[in-house]
């Protein structure tokens, strides 16, 4: 198959993905330390460590795609974004909960649908291999988040943690909507060649987020006794 030419837009997007995967690896490594410190289930700790390895593999595959697209050099990492921040006045369990909900229950859950959509139109072999691996792993990363949230709701801190989710979920949902479905969708049209390299228009991100709200967030939170639909109206 003849390789589609790569635009500067493709190069920048795959470099951004390299940076994002490094950030995900660092955040998960830090979260796993917190899980050890609160005496979490060993299964969850092992899952966290495996996710770190996955994210580093994703970074490598994304960089390989970036180079195949004509990119040179490596990522520029904002070091201050590679660590989690404690709220010193709160119990550690509260911060574990916030990361769990924002990064995994929300972020990794929508990522499954987004990467599936990116993969559908991707035909450049290097990019397709990267998206194949990422999509496969994202399903497990999503499940880790919901399993961790379920475990937290079974601890002696459950009542306080549930209250935090109910209070903060509306803001978290608004934040993820601003990220993937901003009120004003402004972008240059996406060429078929860019789509072949695994890119998609912002409007498709927004559409997948709406599916995630209805098919994932609302029913999954409901199973844990949280009314996410009401949170979207707050």
pLDDT tens string 68-94: 999 998 899 989 889 999 998 999 999
Cα–Cα distance for residue pair 4/26, rounded to 1 Å: 33
pLDDT at 132 over 70: yes
Per-residue pLDDT at 186 = 66
* DSSP class of 91: -
Q: What is the dihedral of CA 169, 175, 177, 180, to 10 degrees?
A: -140
Of the candidate CATH numbers 1.10.3720.10, 3.40.50.460, 1.20.1260.10, 1.10.3210.10, the domain formed by 8-184+191-232 belongs to: 1.20.1260.10
E strands, the chain, are none
pLDDT tens, residue by residue, 25-50: 999 999 999 999 999 999 999 999 99
Region 128-136: mean pLDDT is 98
Cα–Cα distance for residue pair 153/24, rounded to 1 Å: 24
pLDDT at 185 over 70: no
Residue extents of the structural domains in the chain: 8-184+191-232
Q: What's this model's pTM, rounded to 2 decimal places?
A: 0.94
pLDDT at 215 over 60: yes
Region 151-171: mean pLDDT is 97
Is residue 182 very low, low, confident or very high in pLDDT (cuts 50, 70, 90)? confident
Per-residue pLDDT at 1 = 47
């Amino acid at each position: 198959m003849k390789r589609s030419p790569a635009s500067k837009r493709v190069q920048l997007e795959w470099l951004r993905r390299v940076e994002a995967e490094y950030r995900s690896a660092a955040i998960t490594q830090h979260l796993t330390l917190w899980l050890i410190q609160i005496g979490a289930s060993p299964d969850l700790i092992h899952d966290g460590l495996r996710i770190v390895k996955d994210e580093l593999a994703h970074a490598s595959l994304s960089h390989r795609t970036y180079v195949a697209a004509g990119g040179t050099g490596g990522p520029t990492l904002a070091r201050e974004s590679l660590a989690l921040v404690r709220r010193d006045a709160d119990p550690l369990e509260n911060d574990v909960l916030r990361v769990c909900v924002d990064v995994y229950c929300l972020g990794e859950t929508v990522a499954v649908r987004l990467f599936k959509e990116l993969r559908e139109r991707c035909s450049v072999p290097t990019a397709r291999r990267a998206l194949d691996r990422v999509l496969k792993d994202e399903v497990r990363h999503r499940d880790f988040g919901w399993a961790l949230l379920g475990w937290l709701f079974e601890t002696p801190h459950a009542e306080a943690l549930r209250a935090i989710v109910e209070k903060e979920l509306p803001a978290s949902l608004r934040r993820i909507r601003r990220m993937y479905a901003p009120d004003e969708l402004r972008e240059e049209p996406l060429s078929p060649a860019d789509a072949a390299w695994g890119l998609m228009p912002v409007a498709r991100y927004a559409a997948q987020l709406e599916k995630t709200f209805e098919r994932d967030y609302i029913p999954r939170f409901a199973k844990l006794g949280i009314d996410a639909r009401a949170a979207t109206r707050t």
